[in-house]
Amino acid sequence: MISSSLKNQTKHLSFTALAVLMAVFAVLSANVSAQTVEEPSNQINAESKDTPDFRVEKIPVAGGAEIITIFARKDNFGDGMRDGAAEIPLLSVMRDTLGDDRPENDRLRYVWVHSYTRASFWQKAAAFVPGLYMRTTNKKDIGTAPPPHVVDMNSNHNGVWGQVLWVVFKKIILGEMGVGPKASALQYRQNRQDYRRTSVAKALTVLSLFESVAGEKLLSDDESKDIQAKLWLTDKTFGAMMPDEELNRVYDTEIVRKRDSRGHNWELLRQYSEAQGLYFEPMEMPDGTARHATVWIAAEDLAENKGRKYDRRFLNIKDPWNDPKLANWKGYTQVKWFDDDGRVVESNAANAKPKTLIPLALYGLDNPKIPTILVDFRDTRNAKRREMSKRVLTDLSNTVISLSPFGSIPLFLGKFVYDLVTGRRGIDMNQASRIRSYAQLKMLLSLDATLDAHFRDEIADRLEKVSLNPLENDLAVEADIARKQYGNLVEYAKKSDGLPALIDRDRRTEMVKLAHSKKTRAVFTAARFLSFGLYEHRETTTPELFARLDMRRQLNYHERVLNEIAFRSAKPEIDSDISALRRSLQFVAEHGEAANEKTARSLSKIFSLTDDEDLRLKCLAGLFRIDDSAAKNYLLAIYKDPNVAERWRNIGANYLKQALIDGRKISARDAAAIAGMTGVAGN
């Protein structure tokens, strides 16, 4: 069997060599997308707003956009730094404003995490090596190129098409390669995806902290929630296609899930730690939440508990009571005072007793089912093995075994059962959520000035030893990378062929929907797919198209307001922002011809929920204005409803009559019904 396989590989040697080159080109070139640009820019001025833990800066960009950047204002980011040098740019967001002050036509586009950078040549080379689960080197030369974005807020099909192309490439080309080339290509892709996931997790951490900041912010709470929802969807196959009005629901669902997981893991870890005579301490973020916790042991307790029975369930560390390493501990310790009930108190409190605490392990609390050990202060290999478990299983099943539900049913079922058991039975091996926890912890070390500096350095040093990804950089290096990349982004925004040109291209792509029918757009999509993304149709900007783009964005904004209120509200005039609702209803009543069926359904629902006469009038006017047969069907249903007061039914009948006269879109059945009740024939 092996001999036959070797002969087949020799026979196709030239094809394999070509395929390897294509694989390397495909995965390397994926890092360089979306940075080619065109057109003009003027001088940039910065506007800043100060908040307790962050500085937020807005930089206007020529052509009608702005870059909003969140800076950390702590002074614990590097040795010897003073004053403004300690400030770090964490995250930037580009908002396309179309050059005016009207928020309704604004659109968020790119999100940059400034520590996220393109890998160096040697980092990429290391990332191709199968089985190399460690960092090798840092990126030293940042260059002058703008940083890569971690997410594009524009809902599109690019991500889906990219995944489809990868599956085709993997099955047709990689499937014909030997284990070595295939393993290298898959290894690099996995490293690149994991590196991006860590940056997404950092962005989510920054934004969740930013939400808790009081005072004026240049990024609204709604915008912050939208970005977080979009970031959470980056790993979902069809996440990029999620409609904007669904983002609030995605955010709310994810927040509840994380809060439940965090609370569950907090209590689980606390109970099991205290049951073993250990000390549980949550590590609070600046916003008051705790995503991580440390478990300590008191040096004074070691002698009296020697020989004590130890249960490692959920703690996943070896017995501390019979460990000679702890009896002669030379590492980090921390002295705290406790009262008679074992509560932490100030050193000058009555009956306060000092205890020397030794850190045993640090855990992530955001993971589903169980707390996950991230740092074992006595055995770095413990956390490393657990971190590697998912990667090793994935790599072996994808390359050596080529595991699939159809070709290897017993092995596939075995892996499925293993994943199920480790997830449900309190074993933190094979946990995909580890990457996010490590990224959050690195961000915590950067932002939390309350942590003892020596303890922070101890954690950071151990984190670097646990890291699996050759594409990542040291925590200390990331601060310098962030500053340099932010500077590159600012320079990129000033260039005539930089960010303003990219904005212009994005707008011209957005205009395609306004200028062409669905059938024509389908042809453009097919052309883009067949050309592997090399061709993308864009419109030529004209004053008319620009005005239509402005109007379309405003309509999208007001449709979203109406759809969200219709979904959430029980009584719109009581539990909703009534002024925002009136504005959106008025806009649709005046400019809503192109509104969709979902908006028509929302208007019908709001009409049935509210008792406010003005709101009801605007709902009926909006249903008349929307040039869609579904809107007239909802209007007809209101007219036919015997529970609706006669006044409203008469207004609806008049609108239906006028719609028939004007020749608006109405189904044949509804047109016949309207003609029968009004005696008017349509055009």
What gap in Å lies between CA 506 and CA 586, rounded to an integer? 29
Indicate if the pLDDT at residue 31 is higher than 70: no
Q: Would you state the torsion angle of the CA atoms of residues 360, 366, 369, 371, taken in this order, to the nearest 10 degrees?
A: 0
Chain length of the chain: 683
Dist CA 556 CA 209 (whole Å): 29
In this predicted structure, the answer to whether residue 139 has a pLDDT above a threshold of 60 is yes
Q: How does pLDDT run across 457-466, given as a tens digit for each residue?
A: 889 888 888 8
Contact partners, residue 472, CB within 8 Å, separation at least 6 = 135, 195, 198
Mean pLDDT on 211-219: 70
Rounded average pLDDT over 606-622: 96
What SS3 class is residue 665? coil
Q: Do 373 and 431 meet the contact criterion of CB atoms below 8 Å apart?
A: no
In the three-class reduction of DSSP (H, G, I as helix; E, B as strand; rest coil), residue 466 is classed as helix
- Residues 333 and 323: their CA atoms lie apart, in Å, by 16
Q: How many CA atoms lie within 13 A of 610 on its CB side?
A: 28
Q: What is the mean pLDDT of residues 264-289?
A: 88
Indicate whether 579 pLDDT > 90: yes
> Which architecture does CATH list for 543-678?
Up-down Bundle (1.20)
| 171 pLDDT higher than 50 | yes
Domain ranges of the chain: 2-240+475-506, 255-392, 543-678
- More confidently predicted of 414 and 55: 55
Q: Is the pLDDT of residue 243 over 70?
A: yes
- The whole-angstrom separation of Cα 103 and Cα 96 is 10
Rg (CA), the chain: 30
pTM of the full structure: 0.82
Would you give the DSSP letter of residue 398? Answer: I
The overall average pLDDT reported for the chain is: 82
* Per-residue model confidence as pLDDT tens digits over 311-346: 888 898 999 999 999 988 999 999 998 887 778 888
| Bridge partners, residue 50, by sequence | 55
Task: Give the C-alpha separation, 166 to 168, whole Å.
Answer: 5
Output phi, psi for 66, to 5 deg: -155, 150
Cβ neighbors of 439 (< 8 A, separation 6 or more) are: 197, 198, 199, 200, 201, 202, 205
User: Percent of the chain scored above 70 by pLDDT?
Assistant: 79
Model confidence at 426, in pLDDT bands (50, 70, 90)? low
Nearest 10 degrees: Cα torsion 375, 378, 380, 383: -50
